[in-house]
Amino acid sequence: MGKVTSSVLPSIIVFTPWLTLLVAALWARSRPRTSRGLYTAITVATGLLILPMYGIALDGGVVRQHLVRVVPGIDLAFRIDTVGFYFGLLLAVLWIAAGVYSLGYIHERHTRYYCFLALNLSFCLGVAFSANMFTLFIFYELMSLATYPLIIHEETALARRAGLKYLIYSISAGAVILAAVLMQYFYGDTLSFLGHGTLSLAKVSKPVLLTIFSVYMLGFGVKACIMPLHGWVPDAHPAAPAPASALLSGVLLKVGAFGIIRVLYDVFGIKLLRELGVGLPMLYVASFTIIVASLFAIPQTDLKRRLAYSSVAQVSYIILGLFLLSPDGAVGGLLQIAHHAFMKGTLFLCAGIIIHETGKRDIADMEGVGSKLPLTMMAFSIAALAMMGTPATCGFITKWELGLGAIQAHRGYFIVVLLISALLNAVYYLPIVYLAFFKSKETIKFSKRETRPSMLIPTLVCGVMVIVLGIFVTVPGLPYSLVKVVVNAVF
Amino acid sequence: MNLAARQPVLLVAVPLVFAATCPLWGMWKRRICFYWALGGMSVTAFLAWSLIGKVSQKAPLTYNVSGWRPPWGIQIRIDTVGLLLACTITAMSILLLLYSYRYVEKEIPTQRIVYYYTLLLLIFTAMLGCSVTGDLFNFFVFMEIFSITSYALVAISGERRAIRAALKYLLMGATSSLTVLLAISFLYSVTGSLNMVDIGQVLERMGRTSSPYLPVAAAAMIFFIAGFCVKAAVFPVHVWLPEAHSIAPSPVSALLSALVIKMGVLGIIRTLFTVYGRGFSSFSEVWGALATVLSWAAALSIPVAAIMAIMQTDLKVMIAYSSVVHVGYIVLGISVLSVQGFAGGLFNIVAHAMGKGCFFLVAGIIIYKHGFRRIDDLKGLGRSMPVTAGAFAIASLSIVGLPPSAGFIAKWNILYGCLQQSQYIQVVLALFGSMLSAVYCFKVVYYMFFTGSNVGAKMDEGPMTMLIPVTLLAAGTVFFGIFSALLMPTLSNAARVLLAR
Amino acid sequence: MNFSRIFHNLNYVVSALLFLMGLYAVTVKPNIIKKLIGLNIMETSVFLLIVSVGMVDNGVAPIVTEGYRNALEAGRVVNPIPQALILTGIVVAVSTTAVALSLCLRVHEKYGTLNAPEILGRDVL
């Protein structure tokens, strides 16, 4: 067990992105270009501020900060533990990528877009760093609301409908989570995250615990898009601008999964979950989501919609890994958070470049895109291969760990789910790659101006990360090292 | 003369004197009325706010008017609940007066501006009187003063719908006042006292000796609750509210929604807990049944009124229905009979005052600048009026009850109180209602910020005197959402004392 | 039921009847003026009740004179507070009625009728 330090750093990190609002208020009208540069700089600064906590996190230590007592017994407080640090770092990295990418992609309503992008980062970091369920809930709700302007950014009729659907889903989910938090506080007397479960069968009866658990799953399941709560995802992703979709898929869905992680490890605890016997039903739900969402993805003709269904399936890998309730399964689930973020981030950023450069959204029109946008489509292909679980990519590592976890939990038959999923991934990803590269009549030209560098560079970096994470798995600093610390502490 | 010792009574006397002299200034120069009223309320606010920390529910600050000792004379008795309301009233009064400065010039006939300020001062006086008095009949008199004043204020614009609304309000209000008076006379006939605390003690004695007159006191309790429920606009006797609150001039709407209906809630608290709380054992059946009925009515009102609000096309009518929702929250918190729920209910009095005040004042700015009342007309106002629309967006967090706003803290405590009393259905109803609240609030926010512009994107904000109150109220909802610890422990203590039996 | 008991409590019975009459008028009668009259009847009933509470047969006012001592010993002193209360109550009632009547006047001016359903039927909210 690492040591506990007190610091003001957590709130500095969480509130640094708010500087964007200040910059916007001062220079958005008079110096638009400078201010946009500053927005990105602020995001980078936030990311740099997280890094100093690396050492503490790797030792399993905790950084705490108490902000204010809200209600007697309930505080607004931050607490960065290893899993929080891991998630926060991932947030920052992806946000930097999306921020840089947005410089090229977003052409109108900059101020609103960047302000809400920054607020979203702040709120997501708040979720990652919260010290109790109450703080988490507050930032979770704010994050839900701040995502709305990103989804409807383009203000088309389609985007509006998607935004409305999103709001209905997430506000209902918010009320459900609130009910769960209230019940947890009422029966468990504390909302703090202590690194172990705070509820126990000794104090609370089994039906009540099961109710709390299911209400939590129902609430967080909406963001984590567990079927049948995924309804908003396939609409919101295509409607949002590409960098926002990348963030939605890459991390915002994972905020729901992060909530589930907290419920698992800091509210119930592994031992209690085993006693309650909720692992298996959740595994079935996750498997159902993985397979059915993949099947749904196949007939989609819109590129981004297909990617969205793929995200629904992939996020359930996390759920699957977590609810195997075995150490290796947990490693797989937690790794999937970062790995999928980079894979799906790459894919969405590529989709953005395709839409931006060619205006094509329909998969049937992808013929020959590979010759026009070779670098983009190469990144796309790598990410698609990773999705299928090809060795030497990060997708393989997750699948491997999940498989090990399934065996470890004596539930080896869930490997079948992984295999079917890989197959289905191949069915819906390979045709795109095939169309792009092999149905082309022209030869591939590496033109210097494939697309704006501000868009290409983040995409390629994400693509490279997919391979790096697949090969240099155990290098300290990469997700695996952090995830191991988390899992060792929990099990 | 020792002024400091007379501070409790000055709290009522000062605004009354200012109110009485206001028309005199008006005869000379109309504009002075505004400064006079503002000055008067600033003095009163100082008097009220300087009492913070000197008062608790257990040891209230008392003052015997004209030196008559309590059971006989009128006693001013400032406890935590009273001070909470007094501070809210005085703070809101200054903001509302500031806001009125420009608003009345445009929306109210010139010759009535003097009356407007006079009536405002009078209504503040009466509400302060209600908050601080410890005498039941005195409470009734002050209640009548603010009721009559508010009828007049609703009608002050002279539009025909306003007059109709005022008359409707008057008929329901006067009937409910009479119900309260009837209850007071019942209680007086069996206890021979008008002092709330004294009546409580007498009832306790009567309960111990199982007096034959107890049923009369129980009947009085029912009449009290019935009367005050109309004043507080508890569902289903809220029918007067939407019209009266929406047609009145906006600062008056804000005043009515933020403060005046809370006086009905105060009446419920005073009777149900100060008067009858001590004699609880002898009334347990009727008392418990009343509390249950209240909590159910309140819980039901939350989703029902929210649906009514969703169906509205007029912004102010929508906001008015939202007040019914929040009265539901407050009464639910109070009637659920748990300390935390009660404290949450009290907290929501403040939270709702700020949130709803902000809502109505924003609606007022829009009417002042553009004359828009329909929600569809608000398209793109977020671009031309960023401060106004932004304040609305922030206040709507509080009205919906989303963190980190004061409304959330209130909702949290109220729902927790319901859980403590195993009122699960109420929790579900309230949560469902808050989801519906999100629909009507965010609909407006959506029109303001995320649709094409109706009025052009050029900055075209309201005057400063109107923006400052709106901004302060919006900021207040967030401030009290984060620093709720400034209030909650005090309120919890007050709730503990009131619920102790 | 003892008839004399009702007779001795006639004040209360009448007061209750008046209150119900008034309530009936306020809630059922369509004409606004009649509603207001009903309101006033209700008020009167409450005043009657309060005055009745304070009444003592052959009682004297609590003013310290020679007769007061005897009356005090015989328990025949009238409680002055109810009278003070109704005086205040009357003032309140009169002002409510005044405001109501002036509003009626305006309503009649603007709508041309005093029939409540008809008025409510116009300018639907």
Task: Say what the pLDDT of residue B140 is.
Answer: 93
pLDDT at B88: 93
On whether any CB of chain B is under 8 Å from the CB of C94, the answer is no
The contacts of residue A85 (CB under 8 Å, 6+ apart) are: A50, A53, A54, A56, A57, A128, A482
* Interface check A175 vs B, CB under 8 A: yes
Does B39 reach chain C within 8 Å, measured CB to CB? Answer: no
Is the CB of B438 less than 8 angstroms away from the CB of A72? no
Report the residue of chain C nearest B151, measured CA to CA: C99
Residue B406: closest CA among chain A residues belongs to which residue?
A70
Kindly provide the b/e burial profile for residues A106-126, where b requires at least 16 CB atoms within 10 angstroms of the residue's own CB. beeebbbbbbbbbbbbbbbbb
Predicted local confidence at residue B319, as pLDDT: 92
CB hemisphere CA count around B358 (13 angstroms) = 29
Interface test with A, best of B409, B414, B415 (most A CBs within 10 A): B415
CB contact under 8 A, A155 and B489: no
Q: What is the DSSP letter of C79?
A: P
Range of the domain at A275: 4-490
Residues of chain C with C-beta less than 8 angstroms from the C-beta of B237: none
Q: Is residue B78 part of a domain?
A: no
- Of A165, A258, A192, the C-alpha closest to A219 is A258
The per-residue pLDDT for B126 is: 94
Task: State both tokens at A249.
Answer: 């898929």
Partners of A76 in the β-ladder: A68
> What confidence score (pLDDT) does residue A2 get?
64
Confidence of residue A375 (pLDDT cuts 50, 70, 90): confident
> Is B419 close to A69, i.e. CB distance below 8 A?
no
pLDDT number for residue C124:
59
Residues of chain A neighbouring B412 (CB-CB closer than 8 A): 71, 178, 182
**Do chains C and A touch by CB distance (3+ pairs < 8 Å)?**
no
> What's residue A98's pLDDT?
86
Using CB atoms, which chains have 3+ pairs under 8 A with A?
B
Q: Nearest residue on chain C to B143, judged by CA atoms?
A: C92
Residues 76-95 on A with a CB inside 8 Å of B are 76
CA A97/CA A456 separation, integer angstroms: 10
Any idea which of A434-448, B190-204, B244-258, B444-458 has the lowest mean pLDDT? A434-448
Look at residue A441 in the predicted model and tell me its pLDDT: 65
Mutate to test the interface with C, among B170, B195, B224, B243 (most CBs of C within 10 A): B170
- Would residue B61 count as lying in a domain? no
pLDDT at A25 over 80: no
* Residue B123 pLDDT greater than 90, yes or no: yes
Q: What number of CA atoms fall less than 13 Å from residue B438's CA on the CB side? A: 22
The count of structural domains within chain A is 1
* Residues B112-119, mean pLDDT to the nearest whole number: 89
Query: Is the Cβ–Cβ distance between A380 and A431 less than 8 Å?
Result: no
For range A320-330, the mean pLDDT: 87
Measured distance CA(B458)–CA(B380) in Å, rounded: 11
Res. C61: pLDDT tops 90: no
Residue range A306-313: average pLDDT?
88
Please report which confidence band the pLDDT of residue A161 belongs to, taking 50, 70 and 90 as the band edges: confident
Determine what percent of chain B is predicted with pLDDT higher than 90. Answer: 35
Residue ranges of domains in chain C, CATH in brackets: 3-121 (1.10.287.3510)
pLDDT of B252 higher than 90: yes
B188 touches chain C (CB under 8 A): yes
CB proximity under 8 Å: C 54-73 to B: none
Computed over every residue of chain B, the mean pLDDT equals 87
- Residue B449: inside a domain, yes or no? yes
- In this complex, do C53 and B188 lie within 8 Å of one another by their Cβ atoms? yes
**Secondary structure letter of residue A64 according to DSSP:** E
**In the β-sheet with A62-71, what is the strand arrangement from edge to edge?**
A4-6, A62-71, A74-80
Minimal Cβ distance to C39: which of B166, B175, B192: B175
Q: Would B456 be classed as within a structural domain?
A: yes
pLDDT band at A224 (very low <50, low <70, confident <90, very high): confident
Residue B9: what pLDDT? 86
Between positions 56 and 75 of A, the ones with CB within 8 A of B are 68-72
Q: Which residue has the higher pLDDT, B493 or A108?
A: B493
Q: How confident is the model at residue B280 (pLDDT cuts 50, 70, 90)?
A: low
**Lowest-confidence region among A55-59, A483-487, B137-141, B381-385:** A55-59
Two tokens at A83? 């899993």
In 3-state terms, what secondary structure has residue B249? coil
Q: What is the largest CA-CA distance in chain A?
A: 70
Alpha-carbon distances, residue A297 vs A352, A425, C28, C50 (angstroms) = 18, 9, 65, 79
Judging contacts by C-beta atoms under 8 Å, the chain C residues touching residue B147 are: 96
Whether B166 and C103 lie within 8 Å, measured CB to CB = yes
pLDDT(A371) > 80: no
Q: Given a contact as 3+ CB pairs under 8 Å, which chains touch C?
A: B
Q: Do B188 and C50 touch (CB under 8 A)?
A: yes
Distance of CA A179 to the CA centre of its chain: 24
Contacts of B386 (CB under 8 A, 6+ apart): B459, B461
pLDDT digits (tens, 9 = 90+) for C97-114: 999 999 999 888 888 888
Confidence of residue B279 (pLDDT cuts 50, 70, 90): low
Q: Is the pLDDT of residue B238 over 80?
A: yes
Residue A241 φ/ψ, nearest 5 degrees: -65, 155
pLDDT of residue A449: 63
Higher pLDDT, A20 or B38: B38
DSSP string for A416-428: HHHHHHHHHHHHH
Residues 6+ apart with CB under 8 A from C105: none
Nearest residue, CB atoms, A179 vs list B404, B420, B431: B431
- pLDDT computed for residue B1 by the predictor: 56
> Three-state SS for A453?
helix
Predicted local confidence at residue B193, as pLDDT = 86
Residue C12: closest CA among chain B residues belongs to which residue? B186
* C99 at B interface, C-beta within 8 A: yes
For the beta carbon of residue C98, count every other beta carbon within 10 angstroms.
11
Pick from B163, B182, B186: CB nearest C110: B163
Overall domain count for chain B: 1
Q: How large is the C-alpha radius of gyration of chain A?
A: 21
Whether B160 has its CB under 8 Å from any CB of chain C: the answer is yes
Contacts of C107 in chain B (CB under 8 A): 160, 163-164, 167
Between chains, do C89 and B151 touch, taking CB under 8 Å as contact?
A: no
Higher pLDDT, A367 or A283: A283
Nearest beta carbon to residue B483 from set A68, A160, A179: A68
pLDDT tens for C74-98 read 777 777 888 888 899 999 999 999 9
For tokens 């159902």, the residue is A288
**Cβ contacts of C17 within 8 Å, gap of 6 or more:** C45
What are the pLDDT digits (tens) for A421-460? 888 888 888 888 888 777 766 665 656 567 778 888 888 8
- Average pLDDT of chain A is 84
B137 to C39: CB separation less than 8 angstroms, yes or no: no
What integer is the mean pLDDT of A181-192? 84
Per-residue pLDDT band at B23 (split at 50, 70, 90): confident
Which SS3 state, helix, strand or coil, does residue B75 take?
strand
The C-alpha atoms of residue C47 and residue C70 are separated, in whole angstroms, by 29
First to last CA, chain C: 52
Q: Is the pLDDT of residue B102 over 80?
A: yes
Which chain C residues contact residue B186 at CB under 8 A? 49
Which residue of C lies nearest to B72 if distances are taken between CA atoms?
C81
User: What was the pLDDT predicted at A79?
Assistant: 87
Whether pLDDT at B498 is above 90: no
C-alpha dihedral (A262, A67, A54, A128), degrees to nearest 10:
30
Cβ-Cβ contacts under 8 Å for B133 (sequence gap 6 or more): B74, B75, B76, B77, B139, B142
Across the B/C interface, how many CB contacts are shorter than 8 Å?
Answer: 91
Between CA C60 and CA C52 the distance in angstroms is: 15
Which of B66, B136, B171, B243 should we substitute to test contact with C (largest number of C Cβ atoms within 10 Å)? B171
Q: Is the pLDDT of residue C123 over 70?
A: no
Question: pTM of the entire structure?
Answer: 0.85
Chain C residues with CB under 8 Å of B314 CB are 125
The per-residue pLDDT for B454 is 67
CB-CB under 8 Å, C19 with B182: yes
Counting CB pairs under 8 A, whether chains B and C reach 3 or more, is: yes
Q: Is A138 on the interface with B (CB under 8 A)?
A: yes
- Phi then psi for residue A435, to 5 deg, are -60, -40
Those residues with Cβ within 8 angstroms of residue B477's Cβ, 6 or more apart along the chain or in another chain: B351, B354, B355, B358, B394, B395, B397, B398, B405, B406, B407
Considering only CB atoms, B484 lies closest to which of A71, A137, A178, namely A71
Size of interface A-B (CB pairs under 8 A): 67
Nearest to A171 among B428, B435, B449 (CB): B435
Cβ contact A182–B416 (<8 Å): yes
Question: What pLDDT score was predicted for residue A439?
Answer: 72
pLDDT tens readout for residues B344-376: 999 999 999 999 999 999 999 998 888 888 888
Least CB–CB distance from C99: residue in B152, B181, B314: B152
Exposure string of B451-475, with b = 16+ CB inside 10 Å and e = fewer, is beebbeeeeeebeeebbebbbbbbe
pLDDT at A448: 57
Least confident of A65-69, A316-320, A384-388: A65-69
The boundaries of the domain holding residue B486 are 295-501
